[in-house]
Amino acid sequence: MSNERAKIQLVEAFRDGEIERRDFLRGALGLGMSVGTIGLVLSACGTEEKVAPPPPPATPTAPAPEPELGPIEGELHIYNWSDYIAEDTVKLFEEEFKVKVTYDTYESNEEMIAKLQLGGGGYDLVCPSGYAVTILVKLGLVDKLYKKHLPNLSNLAPIFAKTASDPDGAYTVPWQWGITGIAYRKDLIAAAPDSWAVFQDAANKGKVTMMDDMRDNLGAWLKFRGKSLNSVDPADLAAAKADAMLSKPVLKSYISAPVKGQLVTGDVWAAQLWNGDTMQAKAENANIEFAVPKEGAAIWCDAMMVPKGSKNPRAAHEFLNFILRPEVGAKISDFTGYGSPNAQATAKMATPVAYPSDEQMKSLEYQQDLAAGTAVWDRIWTEIKSG
């Protein structure tokens, strides 16, 4: 019993930085902790160290002058979603700033977070979605931005300059924004869908799909009943689950963006999809349209952040400032089909995506981190998916 307490004290002392790694190891082995446990503690505390940086956050009394970043050195490592940047953006940046850029892609926020969390990476810029922004900040895996090096921030549209996940705009430079609504074939479906109910309509059986993601799927059904898509209220979630179960037999499949091909061929008449991807599909088949359900939908804004331990923060900031230039931002958004949070860039786009009006914003909602509620959501989602 006392041994247990000693172990816990030891771990706490190590976590709080009271003892050295070597002393911790010696003590831990002495107390008979298993190697696996020690490894876990070491890696867990590795993150912990990053969570609580030794100097307290800038005191409100006398804001120290913002420190300068050093010069550009070495390479710039960008980690982003696939197909999410104009083809020449990186090349133009490399030429102008004389820095080599490696551009790698990931498939999910969680994959990227896990890597940053466990010390993998070596990336200078990552591009999480809204709720993942919150997680990265909470876990202390990202650095605040040096606004001094980002004069082009003033180009941002006010509604995207500060988002729910980064209320002070201290950590993020917004990248692209979009809405998760309904893409449909106006020539195939009986009536243009204006409600999530289209996914429960037996007339569409086997011809409609929803996204294979619990946040998007249950979120839509929460909106359907007029609830917040961030709700963790058991009653709300039970209702959402009931709606999801009603729609399951109607759905052809749970599938995310790859549904585009099936929309183009007409295998699918309507699909829950992002607006930008809908536009990409529309380029191949003019019968494809996009609708935002009257009950409301998710709006999102992915953002660039600089991970802690970035070896080349100056280049990262220069890149962020570069993409905030109107002509660069316009090109990116014209390529992705999404909206640009950059007002100046939107003005320069070939096919600008209009900002939502205040009226529309009333029914649109940002996904936020569910924290402990995630487990409840996952349980419900598993029950839906495995039935």
* DSSP count for the chain of H helices, then E strands: 16, 12
Residue 154 interacting with another protein (CB under 8 A): no
d(CA 266, CA 282): 12
In what order do the strands lie in the sheet containing 125-126? Answer: 101-106, 76-81, 125-126
Chain positions 322 to 351 lying near another protein, rule: CB under 8 A, are none
Nearer to another protein among residue 8 and residue 170 (C-beta): 8
Residue 251 interacting with another protein (CB under 8 A): yes
Residue 166 interacting with another protein (CB under 8 A): no
Residue 260 interacting with another protein (CB under 8 A): yes
With CA atoms as reference, report the closest residue to 158 among 352, 305, 356, 333: 356
Residue 228 interacting with another protein (CB under 8 A): no
Kindly indicate which of the ranges 63-71, 148-156, 274-282, 355-363 contains the residues binding another protein, using the contact rule CB under 8 A: 274-282
Give me the 183-212 binding string for another protein, x by CB under 8 A, dash otherwise. -----------------------x-----x
Kindly indicate which of the ranges 120-128, 296-304, 313-321, 348-356 contains the residues binding another protein, using the contact rule CB under 8 A: 120-128
The residue from 85, 86, 99, 113 that contacts another protein (CB under 8 A) is 113
Nearer to another protein among residue 108 and residue 154 (C-beta): 108
Contact 7, 31 (CB under 8 A): yes
Chain positions 27 to 86 lying near another protein, rule: CB under 8 A, are 34-44, 46-47, 75, 77, 79, 81-84
Residue 8 interacting with another protein (CB under 8 A): yes
Strand partners, 299: 179, 366
The residue from 85, 189, 255, 332 that contacts another protein (CB under 8 A) is 255
The token duo for 241 is: 């689950």
Nearer to another protein among residue 118 and residue 361 (C-beta): 118
Report phi then psi at 185, rounded to 5.
Answer: -95, 110
d(CA 334, CA 348): 10
Chain positions 295 to 314 lying near another protein, rule: CB under 8 A, are 309, 311
Nearer to another protein among residue 105 and residue 154 (C-beta): 105
Helices (H), the chain: 2-15, 21-30, 35-51, 89-97, 109-117, 130-138, 158-161, 214-224, 234-247, 259-265, 275-282, 313-323, 326-336, 343-348, 358-361, 373-386
Specify burial of residue 184 (Cβ count, 10 A radius: 0-12, 13-18, 19+). buried
Residue 358 interacting with another protein (CB under 8 A): no
* Binding residue count for another protein, defined by CB under 8 A: 84
